[in-house]
Structure 1
Amino acid sequence: MAKRKPQPNESEDLLSVDRDALRPLAERMRPQTLDEMVGQRRLLAPGSALRASIESGHVHSMILWGPPGCGKTTLALLLAKYSDAEFRAISAVLSGLPEVRQVLAEAAHRFAEGRRTVLFVDEVHRFNKAQQDAFLPHIERGTILFVGATTENPSFELNSALLSRCRVHVMEAVSADDIAEALRRALHDEERGLGGRGLRIGDEALAEIAGAADGDVRRGLTLLEIASELAGEGGEIDQDTLRQVLADRTRRFDKGGEQFYDQISALHKSVRSSNPDAALYWFARMLDGGADPIYLARRLTRMAVEDIGLADPRALQMATEAWDAYDRLGSPEGDLALAQVVIYLASTAKSNAGYVAFKAAKRDVEEYGTQDVPMHIRNAPTKLMKQLGYGKGYQYDHDADGGIALDQTGFPDAMGERVYYEPVERGLEIKLKEKLDALRAARARAARER
């Protein structure tokens, strides 16, 4: 029996179905309304300024700043939908200035016909300053509603002219609970999701996928789709399936971006706050994300100098020894040497008195300029220099009572005695403080008696 040929309209419908089947689950489940978006409650809560402007169709040019998979592209699509505007998307990674100009020319033509364009620029921070400037006149004239998406801090990556014409909206990583909600929706949606496959999955397994997504809804849906393919029609997504799907769980980390500097800041401040557990967590996070252990060793050495200082001089020695141990052992054995230093630095006494004293001394150097060295502490290696008074009146401290000549100064005459170093009452500096307080008081008495 001859197979009936599909009619023209039927062929188009079949092609549409085939195309839909080929689209990834994350794309098929992209929210069609604001109510379908998960996460971003602060930004898109009912009654919020942004939501009200979107729902009314009176939207503005903006920069969406947030981590991958938080909904930047989806929000741009919804902006176009709610404002009945044409949606065009370009990527700063793939597009050059000629393509940008072509898109802008098309938008200008469309604007002349009475319709606006939402121009979504993904990874906008990858455009250089000149390329970013190309958008400015079109934003000003209203030819386009500009929506730039970036994972990097706009303050550092975008020029001030573009920032002044756009509002910056900060989008947050989506919580595991919200991602789980999106996964459940995909499992039950028979039209766009996996609802017709009869899949079975427990709450714990679903939560594990949501956690592995690490704040990225798209990633969570991709993991669910892979798991569903492994389980098969009517199958169960169990722990054996998850072990295969989640074998390589990587966390979000940007070796040169803001996340990197946020995490090293968290590590440093946890050490400074004497919280070894938090410090160890951030150290492990950075190693896990691919941070260079040598960079971490250098930063730990800086912490030993800046935040522990003379309260525990052993800290600097331990930091440099751990650095050397890592050089000899490499990863993973050398990681433990650095981890132990993290714990020690966070646990021991802290003082930035040396750091503060050095900065104060540098300020005086800048303020007082080139001051002459007092004659009594100048070097006098020749007869002529001695005749000129070099070294005259110098008191050899070892010959003085107590080993210190209290009535001679070490500062230029124009400055007088200065106090930069103020030891704290922690660690070894307790002893240093006792000694220096007594010595400074004795010098002050000697100066009054002169």
Structure 2
Amino acid sequence: MNLSYALRPKTLSEFIGQEHLVGKDQLLFRLFQSQNLISLIFWGPPGSGKTTLANLIAKQFKADFYSLSAVASGKKDLQLIIAKARQNQIQGRQTLLFIDEIHRWNKAQQDTLLPYVESGLVILIGATTENPSFEIIGPLLSRSKLLIFNKLTDQNLKTIIKRAITNKSLGIAKYGKSLDKSAMDLLIRLSGGDARIALNALEIAIYSYRDKIITAEIIKNIFQTKSAGLYDKDADQHYHTISAFIKSMRGSDVDASLYYLARMLESGEDPKFIARRMIIFASEDIGLADRGALIQANAAFEAVTKIGLPEAKLILAHIVIYLALAKKSRSVANALSKAIKAVYDYPNEPVPLHLRNPSTLLNKNLGYGQNYAWSEQFVGPTKALSFLPDKLKKQRFYSSIKEG
């Protein structure tokens, strides 16, 4: 039995979570009442109810419903549905197309879909776990209403789990199973807001263990990990976590820095990726406030490369604590930013003649290298000349004052 599938709600009133969308007088609640079907993009984490809600919408509006997985479908599958949609249009019936993981379709595939959504031939519901701004083409996004799904709360998951374990129609209640409090808390925590993970684990506990009381030890045994593993190196959680990691070090919060480091490592992040980010951090956020930071960060990268996991975790923790506690200065990054701005504000400013290389007689006759000395006694312009082009000679890019 696929418990997560079997327990999908049949009506909107049975749906758990996303109260900001389906609660009374909220957008989807009003949509259901008005019978006004529009194209929608559902953006949110796995197991938050995107597919379930799409099915409820199809049932409510009595549309001809088609479901595609973007991973396993393409242009040919879409064309078959479009042909049926044209027949539906003649009969006065709406066609609803649900595309799961729509971000998996490339630009050309999404472009193929666009005119049919634009004309209203099909009503689209696209579900994605990735940021639509980056993964869905602008024209398709602008013709749909974006709805953001939140991770299910602990209370949401608790309600779903209790409903499942006491379900009579599926025959689950006859097993007389129950979870003790520690097992419930652990199951919720390890599920990470994903109802599918919670129900899959619960299904194993019900059908594969004879114990009437499901304990925390059983839950640990099922997950075979202390982490929920909700971390994809190619998805939003990767970028959210590394951002939090950098910001924590920047804010000199050692505990938060170590937490996000551990979170990345325990989720399978490449330790060399983390070490490279810390090298950048040493110059960007510490700079000359601690001249040893870059040396330490680079040494950590070399050590991580030589040692490898699991011992490399200690090296990373060592340098994370060092960088988090170090004095901070943005002077290097700010100076570079100002210099780059000057390049664009004053493009192609001529290099001063006294700084040019007098490599030929012609260059010398043109004044290249004149009024510049390089001797044991003196190096630099022999007159009050600037190293910068004339229009920039009063510019100051670097400041030793701590900034930011």
Question: Partner residue of 1:235?
Answer: 212
Which of 303, 307, 326 is 1:329 aligned to? 307
Provide the C-alpha distance between the structure 2 equivalents of 1:387 and 1:164, rounded to a whole number of angstroms. 63
What is the TM-score normalised by the length of structure 1? 0.82
Structure 1 residues 63, 382: CA separation in 2 closer, same or farther (over 3 Å shift)?
closer
Q: Answer with 183-192 or 127-136: which moved more.
A: 127-136
- Give a deviation string over 1:7-42, Cα, whole Å, max 9, x none: xxxxxxxxxxxxxxxx31111111122222222122
Amino acid at match of 1:108: R
2:9 maps to 31
Which amino acid is the alignment partner of residue 354 of structure 1?
A: V
* Structure 2 partner of 1:130: 108
Percent sequence identity over aligned pairs:
38
1:114-263 correspondence runs (5 A) = 114-192=92-170, 194-232=172-210, 235-248=212-225, 249-263=227-241
Q: CA separation of 1:117/1:392 partners in 2, compared to 1, >3 Å: closer, same or farther? A: closer
2:377 matches 1:369: no
8 Å Cα contact 2:63-2:94 kept in structure 1: yes
User: How many Å separate the matches in 1 of 2:182 and 2:120?
Assistant: 49
Change (3 A) 1:397 1:261: farther
Distance 1:295 1:387, change over 3 A: same
SS at match of 2:261: helix
- Matching of residue 410 in structure 1 with residue 387 in structure 2: yes
Is the contact made by 1:25 and 1:193 (CA closer than 8 Å) also made in structure 2? no
Contact 1:397 1:405 in 2 (8 A): no
Instruction: Output the amino acid matched with 1:255.
Output: K
Distance 1:374 1:78, change over 3 A: same
Contact 1:186–1:192 at 8 Å: present in 2 too? no
Aligned partner of 2:274 in structure 1 is 296
Question: In the alignment, residue 287 of structure 1 is paired with which amino acid?
Answer: L
Aligned partners of 2:162, 2:376: CA distance in 1, in Å?
81
- Give the Å deviation of 1:166: 0.8
SS of residue in 2 equivalent to 1:331 = coil
Structure 2 counterpart of 1:155, which letter? S
Which sits farther off after the overlay, 360-369 or 269-278? 360-369
- Residue 198 of structure 1 deviates from its aligned partner by 0.9
Q: Deviations over 1:78-132 (max 9, x none)?
A: 1112212232211111112222111222232223223223211111111122222
Q: In terms of mean alpha carbon deviation, does 342-351 or 109-118 score higher? A: 109-118
The answer to whether the Cα contact below 8 Å between 1:92 and 1:122 also exists between their aligned partners in 2 is yes
**Is 1:74 aligned with 2:60?**
no
Return the letter of the residue paired with 1:241: I
Structure 1 position 273 matched with structure 2 position 261: no
What secondary structure sits across from 1:302 in the alignment? helix
Report the residue type matching 1:340 in the other structure.
H
Name the SS of the counterpart of 2:392 in structure 1.
Answer: coil
Alignment of 1:365-404 (within 5 A): 365-366=343-344, 367-375=346-354, 393-394=371-372
* C-alpha contact (below 8 Å) 2:205/2:219 kept by paired residues: yes
Deviation at 1:196, TM superposition (A): 2.2
Verify the 8 A CA contact 2:160 2:195 in the aligned structure 1. yes
Using the alignment, how far apart are the partners of 1:212 and 1:414 within structure 2? 61
**After the TM superposition, which residues 61-100 of structure 1 pair with which residues of structure 2 at under 5 Å, given as runs?**
61-100=39-78
Partner residue in 2 for 1:42: 20
How big is the shift at 1:238? 2.0
Q: Please report how far the alpha carbon of residue 424 of structure 1 lies from its aligned counterpart in structure 2 after TM superposition.
A: 2.1
Shift of 1:193: 6.1
Counterpart code for 2:296: M
Contact between 1:67 and 1:173, CA under 8 Å: does it hold in 2? yes
Is residue 182–residue 215 contact of structure 2 (8 Å, CA) maintained in 1? no
CA distance in 2 between partners of 1:63 and 1:124 (Å): 9
Q: Distance in 2 between matches of 1:222 and 1:213?
A: 10
User: Number of matched residues?
Assistant: 400
Q: Which letter maps to 2:181?
A: D
Q: Deviations over 1:49-105 (max 9, x none)?
A: 222112332221111111111101100011112212232211111112222111222
TM-score with structure 2 setting the length: 0.90
Q: Deviation of residue 374 (structure 1)?
A: 4.4
Of the two, which has the highest radius of gyration? Answer: 1
User: 1:58, 1:386 → 2: CA distance?
Assistant: 80
Q: CA deviation at 1:383?
A: 9.6
Where do residues 328-347 of structure 1 align in structure 2 (5 Å cutoff)? 328-347=306-325
What do you get for the CA RMSD once the two structures are aligned?
2.7
Partner of 1:447: none
- Residues 125-160 of structure 1 deviation map (CA, whole Å, 9 limit, x = unaligned): 111222223333332343322111111111111112
Contact 1:121 1:149 in 2 (8 A): yes
> Contact 2:40–2:144 at 8 Å: present in 1 too?
yes
Which whole-Å deviations, capped at 9, do the CAs of 1:289-317 have from their partners, x for residues lacking one?
22211111111100101111111111101
Partner amino acid for 2:108?
A
Query: CA 1:180–1:386 in 2, change beyond 3 Å: closer, same or farther?
Result: same
Counterpart of 2:264 (choices 273, 278, 286) is: 286
1:199-232 Cα deviation digits (max 9, x unpaired):
1221221121111111110110110010111333
Query: Partner of 1:148: helix, strand, or coil?
Result: strand
CA offset at residue 406 of structure 1?
10
Taking the aligned partners of 1:333 and 1:65, their CA distance within structure 2 comes to 38
- Taking a change above 3 Å as real, the CA distance of residues 342 and 405 of structure 1, as seen in their structure-2 partners, is farther
Query: Take 1:333 and 1:406, find their aligned partners in 2: how far apart are those partners?
Result: 58
